[in-house]
Amino acid sequence: MPGPLEGIRVADFTWVWAGPSCTLQLAHMGAEVIRMESRRRICVLRMLPPWPGGQPNPNRSGYFNQYNQGKRGITLDISKPEGREIARRIVAISDVAAENFAGGVIDRLGLGYEELRQVKPDLVMISMSGYGQTGPESPYVSYGPAQVPLSGMSQLTGYRGWPPMHVGMSYGDPNAGLHAAFAVLAALYYRQRTGKGQYIDMSQWESTMAVIGDGIMHYTMNGEHPERNGNRVPEMAPHGVFRCAPAATLPGYPEDDRWVSIACGSDAEWRAFCGVMGRAEMADDPRFRTLAGRKTSEDALEEIVAAWTITRDPFEVMELCQAAGVAAFPPQSNRELAEDPHLNARGFFVEKPHADPEVGVRKHAGMPWRMSDTPCEVWRAAPVMGQDNDYVFGELLGMSSQQVAELTERQVIY
């Protein structure tokens, strides 16, 4: 696979969202990622929508296919001793092993770091459990959606005076996956210099708390709990999301669900924004001239901004503001994102044919970086179950077709 990690192979035991979003980054960079799945316990993402035509089918889940692009897929039941033995053989020819079972599970399967380093001494292995491999809560049940509230993020999210709120999706998962990919790269870099592998114990919980650091410090150092404050921040005003003119979008969706975010930091930006609104005189209004004033009179300020946006299209507001050097952008729906002219111009979306013709060519979010010297490319869509059995068992491990057939018969390859 072309890319800066060409030649690196990843034995991928991960499932659901967090783990696969880590190995997705490695696949994007050119590593050969071999996802080990089993029909005995199908990956949760394969069982979740959306599916083309709305018909459930484990090979067609858009959710799974988004986060497993560019990976190879095999079916192997690692609950069976023979399956585990084959998994060890795959690790022996890999550079990285990744898993995200609950704390302690991979050790009980006999596939923990201490065992795997016997077959691959310079292995880099990452475990991404919910709570880490040690400590009293280590074996607790975890899913990404619960990491958001556990990390403190929900306590700090929401409108002023309201109860805590979820951030709307399972943010703990991709955040853990991104941190994990970085940690694996650091370990690979170290291995390249020293020849030494290592084990990475990552707690999804800890990696989610790491991104709300000053909220935690505010308590540890000042004994204060930050308040939920909707879309406001101390250092900018206006800083919020304002309702725009109603317009029909799709049948069944409310016409007034149209918004634009606007933020002014400096007084110069505020002045420019007053010009955009056709209210140049307001720039010198003593209530709003300085940030301190705008913060004190933020309710009145927001009313003025909202009265201006409510008669306008959100993208029109964006263009008017940005042309004047004022930060503004509509909170984009999934449709607006898919149709975003900038993302499309940058070639962000990946459209590769999927092995299941019912899936065909779909539009997936692609690589978040452009590398000038080592362009990365998704070489293939996500695998259907067992798509690469022949390649991995036959070509890489050298099994005969008779052996493969026999293991399939006994549901080791399953």
Partner 1 sequence: MTSGETPAALDDIRVLDLAGETGQYCTKLLADLGADVIKVEPPSGDPVRALPPYFQDDPNTSLYWLNLNTNKRSITLDISHPQAGPLFEKLLRTADVVVESFEPGHLDALGLGYAGLSRIRPDVILTSITGFGQWGPHARYKAPDIVGVAMGGVMWLAGEPEDPPNLPPWKQGYISASIIGAAGTLVALYHRDVTGEGQHVDVSMQESLSLNQETAMQTWDMIQALRCRNGSRGIIPIDIPGIGIYECTDGHVFGYLGTPGGAPWSAMLDWMIQESEAEDLTDEPHKSFIDNLNLRFLTGLFQEPAKLGEKIQIMSHIKQVLTRFVSRRSKWEMYEGGQGRRLLWGIVSTPQDIAENPQLTHRKWLADVHHPELGATLRYPGPPYRLSETPWAIRRRPPLAGEHNAELFGELRVSEDEWRALQAAGAV
Site for partner 1, residues 206 to 265, rule: CB under 8 A: 206-207, 209-222, 224-226, 230-231, 233-236, 239-243, 249-250, 253-254, 257, 259-261, 263, 265
* 195, 278, 334, 402: residue in contact with partner 1 (rule CB under 8 A): 334
CB 99 within 8 A of CB 174: no
Residue environment code for 150-161, b if the CB has 16+ CB neighbours within 10 A, otherwise e: bbbbbbbbbeee
The Cα–Cα gap between 398 and 414 comes to 18
Residues 134-193 within binding reach of partner 1 (CB under 8 A): 134-138, 140-143, 145-159, 163-171, 174-175, 178-183, 185-190, 192-193
When asked if residue 13 is in the footprint of partner 1 (CB under 8 A), the reply is no
Residues 270-309 within binding reach of partner 1 (CB under 8 A): none
When asked if residue 5 is in the footprint of partner 1 (CB under 8 A), the reply is yes
Residues 17-56 within binding reach of partner 1 (CB under 8 A): 17, 21, 25, 29, 44, 47-52, 54, 56
Minimum distance of partner 1 from residue 6's CB (angstroms): 9
CB 50 within 8 A of CB 364: no
When asked if residue 378 is in the footprint of partner 1 (CB under 8 A), the reply is no
When asked if residue 365 is in the footprint of partner 1 (CB under 8 A), the reply is yes
At residue 239, φ and ψ (nearest 5 deg) are -155, 95
When asked if residue 110 is in the footprint of partner 1 (CB under 8 A), the reply is no
* 246, 371, 400, 410: residue in contact with partner 1 (rule CB under 8 A): 371
CB 380 within 8 A of CB 388: no
Minimum distance of partner 1 from residue 389's CB (angstroms): 24
Active site residues: 173
Residues in the chain: 414
When asked if residue 341 is in the footprint of partner 1 (CB under 8 A), the reply is yes
CB 203 within 8 A of CB 235: no
Give the CB-side neighbour count of residue 303, counting CA atoms within 13 A.
3
Minimum distance of partner 1 from residue 398's CB (angstroms): 28
When asked if residue 348 is in the footprint of partner 1 (CB under 8 A), the reply is yes
Closest CA to 300 of 318, 285, 322: 285
Rg for the chain, CA atoms, rounded:
25
The Cα–Cα gap between 280 and 401 comes to 78
* 92, 109, 245, 343: residue in contact with partner 1 (rule CB under 8 A): 343
When asked if residue 394 is in the footprint of partner 1 (CB under 8 A), the reply is no
When asked if residue 201 is in the footprint of partner 1 (CB under 8 A), the reply is yes
When asked if residue 1 is in the footprint of partner 1 (CB under 8 A), the reply is no
3-state SS assignment for residue 67: helix
User: Phi-psi region for residue 3, left (φ > 0), alpha (ψ -120 to 50) or beta?
Assistant: left
Minimum distance of partner 1 from residue 3's CB (angstroms): 8
When asked if residue 395 is in the footprint of partner 1 (CB under 8 A), the reply is no
At residue 12, φ and ψ (nearest 5 deg) are -105, 105
